[in-house]
């Protein structure tokens, strides 16, 4: 069936960014039973849009013929991407095109597209061919098997990035880590919360006022939607062949803004609100055992009556053994409930590595706070040291709780 009866541009919805409960709320509905609506946000993609529409149409025609629609949402690109897209409608009847002239921004473009969508499943894919279209079939299968949300992920088996620079990898992982600390109940649910390639059941996001900033629409969907089971499919983020990236520093600032806004305005999914005091006490006791281990090894290595090794070398070895001691106790006792769920060796090693890095950062914080307090607040080195130890302990506990001992396998 031809879902695109009018060969014109779609009317841009105004007002709240809210997706209607039922697709038939849209007066323009022709096909009431479309299964899948895929939004393709574009800005300056005139060299890509033709190929994207062709490839996606061929694939979906094979997989769910006549049961899908493609919606290009273009923000009035100066290269007239919207015009190129509109010229394709005659050839691809399942294509619909929106040209936004008032609003700007990737996330709101996606939601405006979903607002006019007629599918029961709503998806998004980049318009620059960086998201491999063949993954769509696996994502749809995930939804058919019962998932509410199916996410294409760079960080599960079969996933990756083709040739990102070390800087971009670092920034991406750094942003994810920061997000896990600020918003663990949202970012902790998927391995690739930055993914811009996913699909969700309409029923999970309908009737909720969405309020995203910037690029990361998936955060908004998980944070504000009512999403139960999540499926993940690995994919490799390809290189751009045509056109230019729109990613600038502004997106990182917007991301931080978005995280904080979600943190302040949503109830965290699956999060206990109270501070886990029992865990913290166990963590503190384990830390104390580490002090004794550290002292004993330092004595054995550096004391003139024992091995008499140089002090710095002895301290580094003693410190590292104490960190290892603490890890073992924390893994077996403080966070036993979490580690029991992920007992494989690679999981344990990953936890050990994270714990080590976080504790080393804790040491840096310890030294910094000691100096700040001693020089500017309380000129007593022992009181200043106690305060520094307290701050570093809370850091070590909280960040390890959020990053090291968390269940990373999404079923
Ligand atoms: N409608 C709309 N689309 C946008 C906007 N910004 C980016 N896009 C589109 O969103 C998709 C992702 O943007 P990109 O700039 O490719 O971002 P990216 O893929 O994370 O980064 P690169 O790897 O550098 O390409 C592309 O299809 C863009 O054309 C916008 O403000 N409005
Ligand atoms: Mg891109």
CATH number for the domain including 259? 3.90.550.10
Q: Are strands 160-161 and 236-237 parallel, antiparallel or unpaired?
A: parallel
Do 301 and 244 have their domain in common? no
Mutate to test the pocket of ligand 1, among 52, 106, 196 (most ligand atoms within 8 A of CB): 106
Residue 122 pLDDT:
98
Identify whether residues 104 and 235 lie together within a single domain.
yes
User: What pLDDT score was predicted for residue 2?
Assistant: 45
Ligand 1: distance of its center to the CA of 105 in Å?
A: 9
- The four Cα atoms 330, 333, 336, 342 give a dihedral, to 10 degrees, of 50
Ligand 1 in reach of 294 Cβ (< 6 A)? no
Same domain, yes or no: 130 and 183: yes
User: 79 and 173, same structural domain?
Assistant: yes
Q: Which atom of ligand 1 is nearest to the CA of 100?
A: 1
231 and 302 together in one domain: no
Q: Which atom of ligand 1 is nearest to the CA of 126?
A: 27
**pLDDT for 19:** 96
Whole-number pLDDT of residue 173: 84
* C-beta 254 within 6 A of ligand 1: no
Last residue of a domain, one of 265, 300, 328: 265
410 assigned to some structural domain: no
pLDDT above 80 for 70: yes
**CB of 246 shorter than 6 A to ligand 1:** yes
Nearest alpha-carbon partner for 233 in 134, 159, 130, 328: 159
Distance (angstroms) between ligand 2 centre and the Cα of 36 equals 23
Mean model confidence pLDDT for the chain: 90
As a whole number, mean pLDDT of residues 285-301 equals 94
pLDDT of res. 1: 41
Q: Write out pLDDT tens, residues 18-68.
A: 999 988 655 454 455 689 999 999 999 999 999 999 999 999 999 999 899
Q: Using a 6 Å cutoff on CB, does residue 240 contact ligand 1?
A: yes
Confidence of residue 132 (pLDDT cuts 50, 70, 90): very high
Q: Give the residue from 216, 240, 265 where a domain finishes.
A: 265
CA-nearest of 221, 27, 56, 57 to 126 is: 56
Asked if residue 14 is part of any domain, the answer here is no
* pLDDT more than 90, % of the chain: 68
Q: How many structural domains is the chain composed of?
A: 2
**Ligand 1: residue whose CA is nearest its atom 20:** 247
Q: Which chain residues have CB less than 5 Å from ligand 2, an ion?
A: 126, 128, 130
For residue 239, the CA-to-ligand 1 centroid distance in Å is 13
Q: CB of 107 closer than 6 A to ligand 1? A: no
Same domain, 259 and 282: no
* 304 and 190 within one domain: no
Pocket test for ligand 1, best of 42, 79, 172 (most atoms within 8 A of CB): 42
Q: How many residues does the chain have?
A: 411
Domain carrying residue 195: 23-265
pTM over 0.95: no
Q: For residue 19, report the distance from its CA to the centre of ligand 2, in Å.
A: 25
Residue 267 has what pLDDT? 72
Q: What is the mean pLDDT of residues 242-260?
A: 88
């Amino acid at each position: 069936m031809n879902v695109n009866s009018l060969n014109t541009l779609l009317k841009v919805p105004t007002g709240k960014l809210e997706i209607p409960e039922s697709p038939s709320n849209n007066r323009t509905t022709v096909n009431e039973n479309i299964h899948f609506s895929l939004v393709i946000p574009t800005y300056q993609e005139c060299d890509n849009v033709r190929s994207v529409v062709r490839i996606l149409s061929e694939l979906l025609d094979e997989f769910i013929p006549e049961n899908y629609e493609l919606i290009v949402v273009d923000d009035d690109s100066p290269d007239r991407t919207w015009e190129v897209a509109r010229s394709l409608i005659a050839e691809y009847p399942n294509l619909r095109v929106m040209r936004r002239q008032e609003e700007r921004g990737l996330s709101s473009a996606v939601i405006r597209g979903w607002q006019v969508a007629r599918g029961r499943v709503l998806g998004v894919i980049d318009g620059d061919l960086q998201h491999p279209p063949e993954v769509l079939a696996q994502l749809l299968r995930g939804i058919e098997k019962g998932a509410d949300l199916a996410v294409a992920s760079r960080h599960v088996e079969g996933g990756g990035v083709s040739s990102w620079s070390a800087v971009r990898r670092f920034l991406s992982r750094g942003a994810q880590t920061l997000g896990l600390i600020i918003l663990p109940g949202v970012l902790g649910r998927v391995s690739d919360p930055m993914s811009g390639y996913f699909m969700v059941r309409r029923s999970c996001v309908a009737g909720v006022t969405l309020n995203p900033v910037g690029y990361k629409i998936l955060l908004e969907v998980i944070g504000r939607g009512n999403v139960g089971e999540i499926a993940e499919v690995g994919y490799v983020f390809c290189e751009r062949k045509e056109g230019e990236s729109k990613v600038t520093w502004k997106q990182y600032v917007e991301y931080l803004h978005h995280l904080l806004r979600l943190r302040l305005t949503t109830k965290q999914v699956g999060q206990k609100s109270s501070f886990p005091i029992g865990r913290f006490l166990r963590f503190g006791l384990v830390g104390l055992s580490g002090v004794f281990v550290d002292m004993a090894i330092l004595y054995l290595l550096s004391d003139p009556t024992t091995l008499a090794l140089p002090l710095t070398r002895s301290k580094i070895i003693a410190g590292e053994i104490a960190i290892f001691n603490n890890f073992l106790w924390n893994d077996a006792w403080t966070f036993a409930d979490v580690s029991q769920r992920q007992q494989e060796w690679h999981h344990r090693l990953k936890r050990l590595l994270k714990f080590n890095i976080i504790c080393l950062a804790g040491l840096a914080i310890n030294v910094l706070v000691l100096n700040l307090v001693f020089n500017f607040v309380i000129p007593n080195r022992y009181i200043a040291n106690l305060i520094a130890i307290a701050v570093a302990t809370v850091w070590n506990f909280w960040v390890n709780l959020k990053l090291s001992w968390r269940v990373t396998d999404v079923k």
